[in-house]
Amino acid sequence: MAFLRKIRVMTVPPLTWPALAALALLLAALALSPSAAMVSLYYGKPLQGMTIALDPGHGGIDSGAHHESLLLEKEIVLEIGLQLRRLLEQGGARVMITREKDEELSKHCPDEGMARHRRDIRGRVKLINTSQAHLFISLHINSIHDPSVRGPIAFYAPGKPESKRLAGTVHDALNPLFSADAKAGQLVHQAPQESSAFFILNETEMPGILLEIAFITNPDDRALLQGKPFRKKIARAIYLGLAEYACGEEDP
């Protein structure tokens, strides 16, 4: 579902004539370069009119993936989620975030006969579906026995073409942060993955993805995730992927 037409523009602040002349020469050089490619620059409010649901995974007594109990998935994804919310709101979107602090969400599904973890995930689905969002992203950090695997994976449910397109734009925006410095022997997934294994993807009513941002079990990913500046880069990359989804056209 495309919301806006893609606009390819470059905006610059007021410049003096010498600076404008220099800029003109730069643009001419880029135009003559055979390797130059058009770049989409989104400005203003490319997400105006959209409602987006963000779900930072885990929380409370559920830390999610962790490294030596010092680097916790629940804390990383919450910080990224709050940063992303700020960017999305600046881009014109209305944002519903399932949690703003370190808490689990079983209270939204008060069935005492059900295990807390099951009530937690059902609480997230309830919040997302009642938000009437156009799309949602559930944020997570991955782990695996093989420390050579790194980078993001955007999962989408089968039979949902808009979710697949959303997964593609977000994955493409985020992947360069990890693949650019990948070492020999490291695996960085180059495409999103279809999966029917996630309750949150199967039970939500709008396009959505479960985004595993990086692997906490990979030393290079782990070092990047520890830094707040890199977490901001992740939020910005996801934002650009969402803008690409909203402003782009579905592939034929």
pLDDT of residue 34: 39
pLDDT score, position 113: 84
User: How far apart are alpha carbons 127 and 148 in whole angstroms?
Assistant: 36
Burial of 24 (0-12, 13-18, 19+ CB in 10 A): exposed
The C-alpha atoms of residue 103 and residue 194 are separated, in whole angstroms, by: 29
Q: Is 21 a domain residue?
A: no
Token pair recorded at residue 32: 């003559």
**Whole-number Å distance between alpha carbons of 10 and 85:** 25
Work out whether strand 149-150 and strand 71-72 pair parallel, antiparallel, or are unpaired. unpaired
Is residue 33 a part of any domain in this protein?
no
CA distance 178 to 46: 26
Express each pLDDT in 107-152 by its tens digit.
999 887 889 889 999 999 999 999 999 999 999 999 999 999 999 9
pLDDT band at residue 70, thresholds of 50, 70 and 90? Answer: confident
Residue 46 lies in a domain: no
Q: Is the pLDDT of residue 87 over 60?
A: yes
Residue 20 in this model has a pLDDT that exceeds 90? no
Which residues, at least 6 apart from 183, have a Cβ–Cβ distance to it below 8 Å? 220
pLDDT band at 5 (very low <50, low <70, confident <90, very high): very low
Is 187 contained in some domain?
Answer: yes
The mean predicted confidence, pLDDT, of the chain is 87
Rounded distance, CA 59 to CA 79, Å? 12
- Beta-carbon count within 10 A of 81 CB: 24
Residues 172-200: tens digit of each pLDDT = 999 999 998 899 999 999 999 999 999 99
Domain housing 61: 51-247
Q: Which tokens sit at 251?
A: 């592939």
> Does 226 fall in a domain?
yes
Q: Averaged over 13-38, what is the pLDDT?
A: 50
pLDDT score of 220:
97
**Is-contact 173 243, C-beta < 8 A?**
no
CA dihedral 42→43→49→53, nearest 10 degrees, is: 60
According to the model, what pLDDT value does residue 111 have? 81
CB 64 within 8 A of CB 122: no
Q: The domain that contains 232 carries what CATH number?
A: 3.40.630.40
Closest-CA residue to 237 (of 141, 148, 152, 134): 152
Q: How far apart are CA 192 and CA 165, in angstroms?
A: 9
Q: What Å distances lie between residue 195 and 31, 129, 142, 167, 248, CA to CA?
A: 42, 20, 15, 12, 24
Residue 7 placed within a domain: no
CA atoms within 13 A on the CB side of 223: 5
pLDDT at 36: 35
3-state secondary structure of 209: strand
Residue 44 resides in a domain: no
Q: Tell me, what's the pLDDT at 68?
A: 86
Write out pLDDT tens, residues 189-240. Answer: 999 999 999 999 999 999 999 999 999 999 999 999 999 999 999 999 999 9
pLDDT at 249: 58
Domain membership flag for residue 26: no
Pick 6 or 215 by higher pLDDT.
Answer: 215
pLDDT at 19 over 70: no
End-to-end, the C-alpha distance of the chain in Å comes to 13
Q: How confident is residue 42, by pLDDT bands cut at 50, 70 and 90? A: low
Please answer whether residues 205 and 163 qualify as being in contact, where contact means their C-beta atoms are separated by less than 8 angstroms.
no
Mean pLDDT (whole number) for 146-171: 98
The reply to whether the predicted model has a pTM over 0.85 is no
- 108 phi, psi to nearest 5 deg: -85, 0
Structural domains in the chain (count): 1
